[in-house]
Structure formats: structure tokens, C-alpha cells
């Protein structure tokens, strides 16, 4: 499976997340809150504790334009999706998503819908892995 790095910045650090739950089994699954929403992921690194606030970088499978939900309001956000505003789309198909103070560079596949820059969106993401960036 092909993966893409999201480069997330918050004042020069990675995306700041708060750990909500931890399953320290073989997969180290966590649920986190972030400016991009609440989502589950596989943790890579020393296991965090519930309540930890950590700067992270994220790896995930490329996302599909066809699955993007456009025009979402705060109460309508699909769980497990990343949300924010599309600032621009690069010529190579990388979407620049702003979620609060964080910027996410996200590899997208498929035909891009019209009118994406400035749109509030929810983007389903799969196979998310988190890497603490402050180690």
C-alpha cells in the first residue's frame, strides 16, 4: 500500500494532539483530539498516556477526492475524518488543509472537484500512523 506523509506545522512543530485513549496492545492504537478533529491511529514510538499533549507527524494512505465531504459545519463532521479549509491545491494534486493553526499537506487521488480552494471539508483518512516529533 502506498503512503503519503502529511507535513503538519503548528508554530514550527508538528500537529499538536491530545491523547484520549490508548490500547497498548501489539498495534498501540490511540484516539486523539487535534485541530483536524478526533481520529484513531496507530502510535509509533514510546506509548503515550491518556491526557498527554504531543506534537506529531502523520503518515496515512492517500485520500480520495470522491470521498471528501464539502461544506461541513461543526455539528456535522463525520467521525474519523480530518477537517478544515482547503487553502489551495498544488499542481501535483497535494491539498493544503488548514485546521485551526495547523497546515496539512495531503496527497489526494482522483479527479478534483471544482471550487475546492476556500471550501470547508471533511476528508476520510485511513491507515493513520502517528510519530511523535518532540522526542
DSSP label of 56: E
Give the pLDDT score at 11: 56
User: Under a CB-based contact definition with an 8 Å cutoff, are residues 35 and 6 in contact?
Assistant: no
Q: Which three cell numbers stand for residue 26?
A: 501489539
Number of other CB atoms surrounding residue 49 within 10 Å:
8
Give the pLDDT score at 3: 47
Q: How confident is the model at residue 1 (pLDDT cuts 50, 70, 90)?
A: very low
State the pTM of this model: 0.80
Give the pLDDT score at 80: 74
What mean pLDDT, rounded, does the chain reach?
83
User: Under a CB-based contact definition with an 8 Å cutoff, are residues 83 and 121 in contact?
Assistant: yes
The predicted-structure confidence for 110-123, as pLDDT tens digits, reads as follows 999 888 999 999 98
Amino acid at each position: 500500500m502506498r503512503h503519503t506523509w502529511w507535513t503538519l506545522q503548528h508554530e514550527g512543530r508538528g500537529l499538536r494532539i491530545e491523547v484520549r485513549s490508548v490500547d497498548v496492545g501489539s498495534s498501540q492504537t490511540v484516539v486523539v483530539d487535534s485541530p483536524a478533529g478526533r481520529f484513531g491511529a496507530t502510535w509509533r514510538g514510546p506509548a503515550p498516556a491518556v491526557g498527554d499533549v504531543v506534537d506529531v507527524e502523520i503518515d496515512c494512505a492517500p485520500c480520495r477526492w470522491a470521498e471528501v465531504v464539502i461544506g461541513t459545519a461543526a455539528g456535522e463532521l463525520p467521525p474519523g475524518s480530518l477537517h478544515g479549509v482547503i487553502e489551495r491545491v498544488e499542481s501535483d494534486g497535494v491539498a493544503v488543509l488548514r485546521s485551526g493553526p495547523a497546515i496539512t499537506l495531503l496527497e489526494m487521488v482522483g479527479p478534483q472537484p471544482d471550487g475546492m480552494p476556500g471550501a470547508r471539508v471533511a476528508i476520510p483518512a485511513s491507515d493513520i500512523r502517528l510519530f511523535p516529533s518532540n522526542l
